[in-house]
Copies of this chain bind each other. A is one copy, B any other.
Amino acid sequence: MFKRRLFTPGPTPVPESVMLRMAEPMIHHRNPEFTEILTRVNRNLQYLFQTAGPVLTLTCSGTGGVESTFVSLFSPGDTVIAVNGGKFGERWVAMPRVFGLNAVEVKVAWGSAPQPAEILAALRAHPEAKAVYLTHSETSTGAATDVRALAALIREHSQALVCVDGITAIGAHEFRFDEWGIDVCVTGSQKGLMIPPGLAFVALSARAVERVRTSTMPRFYLDLRRALAAYEKNDTPWTPAASLIIGVDAALEMIRTEGIEQVWRRHKRMATAVRAGVEALGLKLFSRDASYAVTPVWLPAGVEWKPFNALLKNTYGITVAGGQDEYTGKIFRISHLGYYDELDMVTVIAAVERSLHDCGWKCEPGAGVRAVQRSFMESAS
């Protein structure tokens, strides 16, 4: 018996019931049956983001979703401040420059989150800034940003829009778009939403909608003005990835049934338990400011990534993510984002423990799974 299990921070596993919904015969995206689905999806996305405003569904990856905000909210020459603390933050600095925006980079070390003083300094140096881009959970490093505190800070000191890359955070971390004063938040389908990749979602505040109306940036496919106009009619401007939207509908029903606060609590519990397990194996965590979506871990001395990963994958059937860029071969990343329960965390740590053991790493057999189990059993659910 050989079972495969996916523990990567996007794509994440798709619930079996959602896969079967997506496998139903195609329906046309301009017919009442589909409008009914999209209407429900639009409403439930508001619940997911905790907003009363529009959440637009685009057919593209998360990168396309973030691009839609750069090309739809600003005008050439505008200044935007962007935090770069990893592979994705780096992209949110490079991308606006391509479109003629003046991107001011706030660089933070990989594995760390930006501090209030760093954001404040950038705002003071650039009072003309039209927006600040924050990455809520940086997938490449597993670092989480205190978006709530920074949003309050930005709102207090400037008129800049608070823009959040919530791609691996939405559905894992507490997030209250309206209450926290967020202006823009983007997520993708293959993350906390538990469906295959191919859709991005963009939540907009009233201030952001106003900016969409005045932006002079050239854009067409990723034009949020067109997306907003279609949204008013529970429609999309271009042919949408309809089967994925049907999947999102099913996934959002699951989230509503569980309750968003319980979804957040579950992710925090899973992240905490995985970290306890990893540390009990004698390994060191990579990030100081830990995300609840993904846990990056330093490979210990004497354990090479390639044989370790080959064991995990080919012997134990577990797919995790490796490190990126300069951390390739140095860290590995265990995802606990999306369709997982507490027992899955015992499973993944069991496989990590056995693969480490097979690589010659010494630790007390069962130490990892015991620590996971204790973490769950000794904390209130």
Task: Give residues in A with beta carbon < 8 Å to B.
Answer: 4, 6, 8, 10-14, 19-20, 22-29, 31, 59-64, 67, 95, 98-100, 188, 190, 196-198, 218-222, 238-244, 319, 321
For this complex, 5 residue pairs linking A to B, each with C-beta atoms less than 8 Å apart, are A6-B27, A29-B197, A99-B220, A198-B241, A241-B241
Give A237 Cβ to nearest chain B Cβ, in Å. 8
Additional A-B contact list (8), CB under 8 Å, known A29-B197, A60-B64, A197-B240: A11-B28, A11-B239, A61-B239, A61-B241, A64-B238, A67-B220, A99-B220, A198-B240
Give A293 Cβ to nearest chain B Cβ, in Å. 15
In the complex the two chains form, what is the Cα distance from A62 to B238 in whole Å? 8
Q: How many copies does the complex hold?
A: 2
In the complex the two chains form, what is the Cα distance from A28 to B64 in whole Å? 19
Q: Tell whether, in the assembled complex, residue B28 and residue A8 are in contact, meaning their CB atoms are under 8 Å apart.
A: yes
Of all chain B residues, which has the CB nearest A189? B241
Give A180 Cβ to nearest chain B Cβ, in Å. 27
In the complex the two chains form, what is the Cα distance from A115 to B220 in whole Å? 29
Give A21 Cβ to nearest chain B Cβ, in Å. 9
Give A22 Cβ to nearest chain B Cβ, in Å. 6
Given A60-B59, A67-B220, A221-B67, is A26 in contact with B241 using a C-beta cutoff of 8 Å? no
**Complex A-B, nearest 3 residue pairs according to Cβ-Cβ distance, in ascending order:** A198-B241, A196-B243, A23-B23
Given A59-B64, A64-B238, is A98 in contact with B219 using a C-beta cutoff of 8 Å? yes
Given A6-B27, A27-B6, A196-B243, is A60 in contact with B218 using a C-beta cutoff of 8 Å? no
Of all chain B residues, which has the CB nearest A313? B31
Q: Tell whether, in the assembled complex, residue A244 and residue B198 are in contact, meaning their CB atoms are under 8 Å apart.
A: yes
Given A23-B19, A28-B6, is A11 in contact with B242 using a C-beta cutoff of 8 Å? yes
In the complex the two chains form, what is the Cα distance from A331 to B222 in whole Å? 31
Of all chain B residues, which has the CB nearest A188? B239
Instruction: Give the chain B neighbours of A13 by CB distance below 8 A.
Output: 25-26
In the complex the two chains form, what is the Cα distance from A13 to B25 in whole Å? 7
Instruction: Give the chain B neighbours of A29 by CB distance below 8 A.
Output: 11, 197
Instruction: Give the chain B neighbours of A61 by CB distance below 8 A.
Output: 59, 221, 238-241
Give A344 Cβ to nearest chain B Cβ, in Å. 14
Of all chain B residues, which has the CB nearest A32? B313
Instruction: Give the chain B neighbours of A8 by CB distance below 8 A.
Output: 28
Q: Tell whether, in the assembled complex, residue B239 and residue A62 are in contact, meaning their CB atoms are under 8 Å apart.
A: yes
Of all chain B residues, which has the CB nearest A34? B11
Instruction: Give the chain B neighbours of A242 by CB distance below 8 A.
Output: 11, 190, 196-197
Q: Tell whether, in the assembled complex, residue B218 and residue A98 are in contact, meaning their CB atoms are under 8 Å apart.
A: yes
Residue in A62, A63, A64 whose Cβ sees the most chain B Cβ within 10 Å: A64
Give A75 Cβ to nearest chain B Cβ, in Å. 13
Instruction: Give the chain B neighbours of A22 by CB distance below 8 A.
Output: 22-23, 243
Give the contacting residue for A239; candidates B63, B238, B241, B244; CB below 8 A.
B63
Q: Tell whether, in the assembled complex, residue B198 and residue A10 are in contact, meaning their CB atoms are under 8 Å apart.
A: no
Q: Tell whether, in the assembled complex, residue B197 and residue A239 are in contact, meaning their CB atoms are under 8 Å apart.
A: yes
In the complex the two chains form, what is the Cα distance from A100 to B14 in whole Å? 42
Q: Tell whether, in the assembled complex, residue A95 and residue B198 are in contact, meaning their CB atoms are under 8 Å apart.
A: no
In the complex the two chains form, what is the Cα distance from A220 to B48 in whole Å? 28
Of all chain B residues, which has the CB nearest A4? B25
Residue in A14, A59, A219, A243 whose Cβ sees the most chain B Cβ within 10 Å: A243
Instruction: Give the chain B neighbours of A14 by CB distance below 8 A.
Output: 25-26
